[in-house]
Amino acid sequence: MPDDTPTDRGPAVDAAERRLGRRLRERGETVAVAESLTGGLVGSVLTDVPGSSDYFDRGVVTYSNDAKLDALGVSRESLDAHGAVSAPVAREMAQSVRDTAGTDWGVSTTGIAGPAGGTEEKPVGLVFVGLAHAAPWGSGDSFVRAERHVFDGDRWTIKVRAPDRHSRTCWPRWTSSS
């Protein structure tokens, strides 16, 4: 099935980001992001919405493994056992940025944009998006999740599709019951 995710967002802020921003603002919740593959694009998309300072706390770009270890405290064990491009690392990144920033939500991206670096097991275009939620104490609604996607296209297309897919599909589905 072809992926119809736009690759040129243009100057207009997408309705998905506006809905996300409105939902965070209405709930009085905040978000922080930890990005590898996307190099700051998720934070950029979230802050394209006017008034995003009400809910966007910070973005951290941790492109190298050392940055993931030093800035986020991702475990060496996870990196060695699963690699930087993996669901466990995406979950650790999301949870760490959420905890470090003291926000309600932590978002992460890690992946292989190419054109080199892919393998049969981890092809170019493989992206993991993580989301961590800290619910009020005792509510039992906290969670940490990661979702796997594989996108076709050149390096830029893959990088742009990750934040778009997150705001259009992952976030709404993950937060619908929280």
106: which DSSP letter? E
pLDDT in tens, 133-164: 998 777 778 899 999 999 999 999 999 988 87
pLDDT in tens, 16-50: 788 888 889 999 999 999 999 999 999 998 998 99
**What range does the domain containing 161 cover?**
15-175
Tokens 């297309």 identify what position? 157
Counting the structural domains of the chain, the total is 1
Please provide the distance, in angstroms rounded to a whole number, between the alpha carbons at the two ends of the chain. Answer: 30
pLDDT value, residue 17? 81
14 contacts 44 by C-beta, under 8 angstroms: no
In a domain, 9, yes or no: no
13: which DSSP letter? P
CA distance 112 to 169: 20
In a domain, 43, yes or no: yes
57 contacts 29 by C-beta, under 8 angstroms: no
Question: The CATH number of the domain where 124 resides is what?
Answer: 3.90.950.20
In a domain, 149, yes or no: yes
In a domain, 5, yes or no: no
pLDDT in tens, 66-92: 999 999 999 999 999 999 999 999 999
Grade residue 5 by pLDDT with cuts at 50, 70 and 90. low
CA distance 87 to 65: 15
In a domain, 4, yes or no: no
CA distance 1 to 161: 15
Whether residue 175 is predicted with pLDDT greater than 90 in this model: the reply is no
DSSP 70-98: III---HHHHHHH-SSSHHHHHHHHHHHH
3-state secondary structure of 135: coil
In a domain, 7, yes or no: no
In a domain, 165, yes or no: yes
Grade residue 53 by pLDDT with cuts at 50, 70 and 90. very high
Assigned token pair, 62: 């941790």
96 contacts 103 by C-beta, under 8 angstroms: no
CA distance 111 to 126: 5
